[in-house]
Amino acid sequence: MRVVVIGAGVTGLSTARLLTRYRGVDVVVVERNPDVGWGVSKANTSIIHPCHEEDPDKHPLRTKLCLEGHNTWYRWVRELDIDARWPGEIIIATSREEYRVLKHYHRLAMRNGVPGVRIIDRDELLRIEPSVNPDSVAGLYAPSAGTIDPVGACIALAENIVDNGGRILFNTEVRDVVVRDRRVRGVKTSRGFIEADIVVNAAGLYADIISRMAGINDYNIHPRRGQYILYDRMAEPKPDKIIHTAPTPKTKGVYIVKTVENTLLIGPTAEDLPPDMRDATYPTREGIEYILRNASKIISRLPPRSLVIRMFAGLRPEPSTGTFILRFHEDPWGFVEATGIRSPGLTAAPGIARYIIDLIKEHVDLVEKEKWNPFRRGIRRVKELGLTERNKLIREDPRYGRIICKCMGVSEAEIVEAVERMRKIGVEEITFDGVKFRVHAMYGRCQGTFCRPEISLILSRLTGKPPWMMRFKDHGSFYGVGEVKDLFRRG
């Protein structure tokens, strides 16, 4: 049986990973971008939610999958060597009204069976997290909350998929879903036809467009933008626990997160954009001011602006149904949707994947392989090794001792391995972003202003293209416009 999964984000890849467990299932992931996790999965708050903010009356399935996803991530981050930390989170109430909101979520926590959730008074709040605004009234502490590296998770899933015989086709855009005799037959892509018995639509922001190609026309998706500010590791104060403002009906509030890289992430906004703005992944002055204003309510003081290392934005796919759309269609048979994956999509992803597999199992017999490798190891980071181990590695390959990115302490060998791993999963365009997401070079204080020229040289050696032709992301994002003097030669 051939399954095509559309979209190499965390939803599509989680689903594809589970599909590789079964005998006789040929899994092909198609992705329009040059690399994994560059759509919705790239820019989000990176939280694995405890799921005490999900209302089981309004959204029973979403609540269930969020809880399941949360528990599964504990296992997946170990199996797949994904950077994660589990500090717990606190919703901060700054007024009597917000205190009532805490009580509401406390009740949901008990109903959802989220362990350890309790309301803490101001004194305990300030003891647990001294950097919280002292004017706060109380907090709702959920000790099971975590944060992961979301693009790192996509990369890990992709490598594991390929290790288990799956394939990923990059720079491949789906143009049509081919249906004959009320069954899906495959997808027409920018690179030709791919035959399939089952097509899983995990196309994120573009999922409604893909569904329409299969004749499904009962929902729409519009982008909801989330903007973020990222502060340097040296930022102070840097709360250890995830803290956030009280949620509103529309948003989960503004978060302050010490990330797995030990930087400080603040955001998001929640701006509903028209459906034609699905590429508006840029922050705005108003959005950044909104985040700072809200964050300043719950933290004793904001780090200085001089420690801002990046501002960015991501788009979440907001479905007109208000909740996840998870269906196996009978007409056309074999068309499966894992769409409308709004918040808490990252948390729920493993649960969604399991649910999709169960939907497929209702229609097709799936038999587990005898051998399936659940494990994947990340790239060895010289900076995290002890002296003896480090020196052994440097003796074998001196490139481990050549630190290229001074801010994050990333060696040449790690960059080379990132490129090798990109190639292994089928990435054709070796990009700065691809390197950045894999080894975190260009991720620190200077944002690559010191090391990017040198990295362009390393990538040039590995790809045979001149340094100026190295790209940041996709097609026109070349580093330079030519070699020096080219403007005289070529005009």
Catalytic residues, by residue number, are 49
Would you say 236 or 358 has its CB closer to another protein? 236
Give 175-238 as a DSSP string: EEEEEETTEEEEEEETTEEEE-SEEEE--GGGHHHHHHHTT--S--EEEEEEEEEEE-TT-SS-
Relative to beta strand 89-93, strand 242-245 is parallel
Q: How far apart are CA 302 and CA 314, in angstroms?
A: 22
Q: Which of 187, 230, 212, 260 is nearest to 32 (CA)?
A: 187
User: Contact positions toward another protein, by CB under 8 A?
Assistant: 234, 281-285, 287-288, 305-306, 308-312, 382-383, 387, 390-391, 394-395, 398-399, 401-403, 406, 409, 411, 445-450, 452-453, 456-457, 467-468, 471-488
DSSP-derived secondary structure letter, 273: -
Please provide the distance, in angstroms rounded to a whole number, between the alpha carbons at the two ends of the chain. Answer: 54
Taking the complex as a whole, how short is the minimal distance between the CB of residue 473 and another protein, in angstroms?
6
- Residue 117's nearest CA partner among 51, 65, 61, 54 is 51
The Cα–Cα gap between 415 and 421 comes to 10
Closest approach of another protein to the CB of residue 382, in Å: 7
Of 250 and 484, the one with the shorter C-beta distance to another protein is: 484
Element of type H or E holding 99: helix 96-112
To another protein, the closest distance from the beta carbon of 486 in angstroms equals 6
Residue 295 or 326 with smaller CB distance to another protein = 295
* Distance, CA of 67 to CA of 15 (rounded, Å): 17
The least distance separating another protein from the CB of residue 281, rounded to whole angstroms, comes to 7
In contact, 468 and 475? CB cutoff 8 Å: no
Work out the angle at residue 184's Cα, subtended by the Cα atoms of residues 61 and 213, and round it to the nearest 5 degrees: 75
Whose Cβ is closer to another protein: residue 326's or residue 382's? Answer: 382
How many other CB atoms sit within 10 Å of the CB of residue 96? 9
Phi, psi at 257, each rounded to 5°: -130, 125
- In the complex with another protein, the residue whose CB is nearer, 89 or 429, is 429
Provide, rounded to whole angstroms, the least separation between the CB of residue 33 and another protein: 12
- Which one, 117 or 458, has the nearer CB to another protein? 458
Q: How far apart are CA 142 and CA 86, in angstroms?
A: 11
3-class DSSP state of 45: coil
CB of 254 vs another protein, minimal distance in Å: 17
